[in-house]
Amino acid sequence: MPGQTLAEKIIAKAAGQETVTAGEIVTCRVDLAMMHDSGGPRRVAPILERLGAKVWDTDRVVVVTDHYVPAVDAESAHILDTTRKWVAANGVDNFHDMQGICHVVLQENGHLSPGMFVVGGDSHSPSGGAVGCFMFGVGATDMAGVLVTGETWIKVPSTIQILWSGNLSNGVSAKDMMLAACAKMGMGGGDYQVIEYAGETISGLSMQERLTLCNMAAELGAQTGIIAADQKTADYVTAAGGNPGDIEKWQGDADAAYRAVHEFNANTLSPQVAAPHSPANSSGVENHAGQNVHQAYIGACTGAKLEDLKMAARVLKGRKVASNVRLLIAPASTRTTAEAAADGTLATLTAAGAILMPSGCGACAGYGAGVLSENEVCIASTARNFKGRMGPGNSDVYLASPYTVAAAAVAGHIADPREFLNGGGA
């Protein structure tokens, strides 16, 4: 029998078995369940009330408000009020209210560790794979079942490995890696399987860049994304207040069977841009150069972490945002904002003319400030550019890295960020 992949090892542990096989249906114990204000208490509370059921273990539940913060109307305020009252009534202590986007906040606060089996009430829950978790998104009905029983069922997925070799060049980031993968594999390339990222390039990435890769496994149609834990993972989890445990235990076997292996070369990767209305519409920035934009948006769990803001600051330092563009920046968490303020990053961004927004999902999900008007064009560091997601159906969103978004803000149109690094550009 072939060895087990990392995902299979985690599922087997959760199922109380020695091994599992792709295609097998098993019932798993859930180590942690995460909900946010949009799909959380307002959806699951009525189900639990009809069942007369209580939360199985409040210590294993994390709730984050991020979609409707800060409230911009009465409906938003009501949703947040519902969330806060449910958390208080059910004694959920792991509550992060208006502290940032759930996928970033979970990792910042040490809630996730290698080998955990985790469910999240959001499609970008695969972000947890950055620290070696098996984490995937579920809907409100499945989440209600988890909250009552502490268990869920899963059809064991096979694993598709994305193997990266080489080193990223200046002005190229994990976002570009993902857009290139989307272009090659398509939105359904993950086929509801596990995407495992591996190779020397992955080992060299920071934890925040790894989060970007796992986050956007969703854009490949995967059930989740995952990266095997290393010392960098252990140090990160420890610094966040978590316990990384035995990281050597959570490695795939050398003879594990992969459904497919896709190889990419970071040495030859250029900045990527995804044209409307799909991340799969990605190609080199040169194919989109000159496209005028009305708005440049640096936000979302994918594109507004501290490292993302620093990328933008490298391009913007000593420059000004073009008069025909508004540059909006919504840091991924309040901690990100504080750290960016402390190290001077925010000063660089705002001096260039960037408008600082509250932390939260905001315009990425079409909520609150920053949405587009009719026929407007935006370039964004978000994960998705589906039609109508950030505004009217006739608005257009291009996806790119924070480097490229910042370059467009300065140029007034889509431009190669490498022209603005190392002293180049206008």
Spatial CA neighbour of 395 closest among 324, 303, 293: 293
Domains of the chain in sequence order: 6-265 (3.30.499.10), 272-420 (3.30.499.10)
Q: Return the pLDDT at 194.
A: 98
Residue 370 and residue 329 in contact, taking contact as beta carbons nearer than 8 Å: no
Q: Return the pLDDT at 362.
A: 85
Q: Return the pLDDT at 189.
A: 87
Give the model confidence (pLDDT) of 16-53 as tens digits. 999 999 999 999 999 999 999 999 999 999 999 999 99
Residue 58 and residue 91 in contact, taking contact as beta carbons nearer than 8 Å: yes
Local structure of 259: helix, strand or coil: coil
Kindly give, in sequence order, each residue whose CB lies less than 8 Å from that of residue 123, ignoring residues fewer than 6 positions away: 137, 218
Q: Tell me 300's DSSP state.
A: H
Local structure of 153: helix, strand or coil: strand
Q: Return the pLDDT at 36.
A: 98
Give the model confidence (pLDDT) of 334-343 as tens digits. 999 999 999 9
**How many other CB atoms are found less than 10 A from the CB of residue 71?**
16
| pTM, full prediction | 0.96
Alpha carbon separation from 161 to 154, 192, 250 (Å, rounded): 20, 13, 16
Q: Return the pLDDT at 369.
A: 84
Local structure of 371: helix, strand or coil: coil
CA angle 42, 46, 50 (to 5 degrees): 170
CA 31 to chain centre: 20
Measured between alpha carbons, how far is 404 from 233 in angstroms, rounded to an integer? 28
Judged on CB neighbours under 10 Å (0-12, 13-18, 19+), 23 is exposed
Q: Which residues of the chain have pLDDT under 70?
A: 1, 422-426
Q: Which helix (H) or strand (E) holds 282?
A: strand 282-284
